[in-house]
Amino acid sequence: MSTQESNNGPARVIPNWESCIDCGACEVACQRTWDLPPETDRIQVLALDHGTEDETNKPMQCYNCSEAPCVEVCPTDALRIRDNGSVRVSGDMCIGCHYCGVGCPFGAPQYPDAGVPEADEASPLGARGNGLMDKCTTCEPRQEEELEPACSSECPTDALLFGTPDELSEKLSEDGVSKPFNDEAAQVVFGDDADEIMSG
């Protein structure tokens, strides 16, 4: 079982594109696990090339990028890469400027409106409302209990792969698993280890 304490990089959830059937189980699992309202999109199944022959459905969320563009552009250091490599947002420091939303290539930052209950300071993993940035936390509290993130554990088709970089590299080498990113995106997500991980 992977945990956030793994020392070869943060545990991530990455998509196995071709397996996704757009059932929405990941979205529901996320919202139910963290008692989030339907307006939150910490993970979202997007219909790409909608209405064309190439239409496909892809689950997208925060990948805890090694070279996180959101961290670079955040003016208040509300976003930071923790020692274990995960990207965390501090609700106490975010000013809701949306720079991270412009910078993130995967559409991970969300800005729930006032209808979403705000996280209190003692529970920073709660959803943030009032226009503050909110994103996938890779279910770190579940990882501490040796559990997979809710989305990947409930995905019926194994369209969400969870693990440390080494574990993901193994999974990506298995038959029937699609490459999650092109070279450019892989560099952002995995940094210098991109080639090694992506080649499986």
Partner 1 sequence: MVLEITFDVPYSQWNWQVAVYTALIGLAAGAYLTGYVADLISWQRDAREHGPIAKFGYLIGLVGIGLGGPILLSHLATPFRAMLIPLTMTNFDSWMTIGAYMLGGMGLGAFLMFAWTAFGRTRPHRRTTDEDGPGGVAADGGSDVATDGGSSEGGPAKAATGGDTADGVGTAEERNGVLSQLDAIADYTRPTEPVRLAIGGVFAIFAAGVLLYSAMAFGSGSFERVALWDKTFLIPVMLFSGLGAGLTASVGLAAITENPTNQTIQNYSLIGSGFLVAALGALAATIFLLPEQLPAAEPAIDNMLGTYAWLFIGLAVVAGIVVPVLLSIGAVLGQRRDALSPNAATASYAIAGFLVIVGKIALSMSYLLAAEFTPLPLPV
Residues that bind partner 1 (CB under 8 A): 17-18, 46, 48-49, 54, 56, 58, 60, 67, 69-70, 72-77, 93-99, 101-107, 111, 130-132, 178-182, 184-185, 188
Q: Which of 125, 137, 140 is nearest to 2 (CA)?
A: 140
Q: Please, which residue, 162 or 181, has the CB nearer to partner 1?
A: 181
Smallest distance from the beta carbon of 5 to partner 1, in angstroms? 27
Smallest distance from the beta carbon of 157 to partner 1, in angstroms? 15
H or E segment to which residue 79 belongs: strand 79-81
Smallest distance from the beta carbon of 8 to partner 1, in angstroms? 24
Q: Please, which residue, 32 or 98, has the CB nearer to partner 1?
A: 98
- Its sign, for the CA torsion 150, 153, 155, 161, is positive
Q: What is the largest CA-CA distance in the chain?
A: 48
Q: Do residues 118 and 128 lie in contact, with contact meaning Cβ atoms separated by under 8 Å?
A: yes
Q: Which of 173, 149, 58, 153 is nearest to 108 (CA)?
A: 58
Q: Please, which residue, 62 or 74, has the CB nearer to partner 1?
A: 74
Q: Please, which residue, 173 or 178, has the CB nearer to partner 1?
A: 178
- Could you give the CA distance from residue 198 to residue 191 in angstroms, rounded to a whole number? 11
Q: Please, which residue, 18 or 193, has the CB nearer to partner 1?
A: 18
Residue 21 is given by DSSP the state -
Smallest distance from the beta carbon of 75 to partner 1, in angstroms? 4
- Could you give the CA distance from residue 17 to residue 180 in angstroms, rounded to a whole number? 7
Smallest distance from the beta carbon of 145 to partner 1, in angstroms? 32
Amino acid, single-letter form, for residue 147: L
